[in-house]
Amino acid sequence: MATTKQDINLKSGNTIMAWVDYDSIANILNVTLSSSSQKPKIPLLTFPIDLSPILLDSMYVGFSASTGLLASSHYIFGWSFKMNGQARNLDLASLPTLPSPGKSHTTLTVALSTASATIVLVLVVLASLYLIRKIKNADLIEAWELDVGPHRFSYKELKIATKGFRDKDLLGFGGFGRVYRGTLPKSKAQVAVKQISRESKQGVREFVSEIETIGRLRHRNLVQLQGWCRRRGDLLLVYDYMPNGSLDKLLFDEPTTTRVVLTWEQRFKIIKGVASGLLYLHEEWEQIVIHRDIKASNVLLDSELNGKLGDFGLARLYEHGANPSTTRVVGTLGYLAPELTRTGKGTASTDVFAFGALLLEVACGRKPIEPKALPEELILVDWVWEKWSQGRVFDVVDPKLKGEFDEAEVVLVVKLGLMCSNSAPNARPSMRKVVRYLEGELRMPETLSAPGKVRMVKEGSMTCRCPSHTHLIPRLGRCLRLLLAWVEKVAVVALSLSLVRRPSLYCRLESRISP
């Protein structure tokens, strides 16, 4: 056995001996070449590799080689193979001779022709598969899409922007889908990408509604739609990114190093901003836009804590002066106007009712319905009205403010919230009046009707006059009130489980037992 490596010239045309040895214990692959029949001691190539996943108990063994762009021909005169131990030595005398040059060129030509045909066939197959996939993934353009103004993004672009819609960038989720934070590849602008849920039966309807509605709206207090995307079952909307998230999180989540308590000044600014945006929808745009889902979670805050109304998935458009059509009752528990169960019509007045609930929510730091609260505090508007009628309006202010608020503004917001929450639609102010009240351009009325009944309270003395109930015994009245409150509390817990299927049930119950 030779003890040194030998110089091997692959272009010489001489016969070359090759040994390929693999040690399955040491996981070492050795390749040894020699121009003679004597095996050198030192391999030409030693490579550590574990072939156990590849080598099977029963398998075929063959040869494969490549010279890149160069053309060459190689011949194997003979070979031997053994699984364990040394392979049998070849009998060089019995090996065949080289074929004639003519035959060699013919074989090479056939091989090259076959290889070329194979390559062409593979390319044709790959091109066909690419075209089929492209056609399959292509977005179908429907008639309504031709009139949509906002930019249409490609699905690939939004997938890159959200890094594959990863949970780490999930901003929130609801009945209609999930919202992700993303960065557009070209502009590097941060956006919020809303992915409509495939399980939502109304998914396409909300998708078209938002594009048709918010896509053409332009107001500083409305979330701006940047664009959209539709690919087969995937429906996506792209909005401006709101770094401070939704209003409900700042109102109800525990303060952290990155999330602070909203001051009264900030809250009042947010209220006026949302009111301005809602006025634009009702009266200042070319059509009337009924939002139908005004609530704290749909008020988003930019870097300067400006309130912007978003989520137009339930919105409906009407011509000015037209009568809204009857639809199914939609919305969120605690924000639904009582008349919706009778008429099924979303109107500007039902939006005002929901805005009234939002006003009280912001001022009090409490949700419209608190199932875990005391019976008399279960329904926010009823509790606020009771405190108002007792002349203790400041008792309802969010304790997180620690007494730091403008008293006149608090009285204004609470009183306006009660006015907007009146069960009679014609007793609620329009959004134009609401904005003028908030801006101090219009004086609030001195008397205030109770939200659920015809009761009048004079603002100066805060005395309550209830002519229709003066004959009731006070103790009996209190017992009935507590009983109704407990019934209502039990009902709310049960209704919270079936709200999606029967959204009007709560409204019917509310109209019966509201004080």
- Map out the domains of the chain as residue ranges: 1-98, 143-240, 247-513
**Nearest Cα to Cα of residue 333 among 173, 514, 176, 492:** 492
pLDDT score recorded for residue 498: 43
pLDDT score recorded for residue 296: 95
Q: What is the pLDDT of residues 374-408, one digit of tens each?
A: 888 889 999 999 999 999 999 999 999 999 999 99
Contact call for residues 478 and 512 (beta carbons, < 8 A): no
What's the whole-model pTM score? 0.62
Question: pLDDT tier at 186 (50, 70, 90 boundaries)?
Answer: confident
pLDDT beyond 60 at 45: yes
Question: Is 433 flagged in the annotation as binding?
Answer: no
Mean pLDDT of 75-99: 81
* DSSP string computed for 365-401: TS-SB-TTS-GGGSBHHHHHHHHHHTT-GGGGS-GGG
Mean pLDDT of 486-502: 44
Buried b (16+ CB within 10 A) or exposed e, 132-141: eeeeeeeeee
Q: Which residues sit opposite 151 in a β-bridge? A: 227
Cα separation values, 139 from 142, 193, 238, 405, 412, Å: 9, 18, 17, 53, 51
Round to whole Å and give the CA distance between 408 and 381. 19
- Give catalytic residue positions: 293
**Nearest Cα to Cα of residue 393 among 409, 378, 372, 371:** 409
Domain 1-98 CATH class label: mainly beta
Tokens of 297: 């979670």
pLDDT score recorded for residue 454: 36
pLDDT score recorded for residue 191: 93
CA dihedral (309, 315, 320, 322) positive or negative: negative
Q: Which residues sit opposite 300 in a β-bridge? A: 246, 308
* CATH superfamily placement of domain 247-513: Transferase(Phosphotransferase) domain 1 (1.10.510.10)
- Amino acid letter, residue 323: N
- Tokens 């009628």 belong to residue: 389
Mean pLDDT of the chain: 80
**CATH number for the domain whose boundaries are 143-240:** 3.30.200.20
Round to whole Å and give the CA distance between 202 and 328. 12
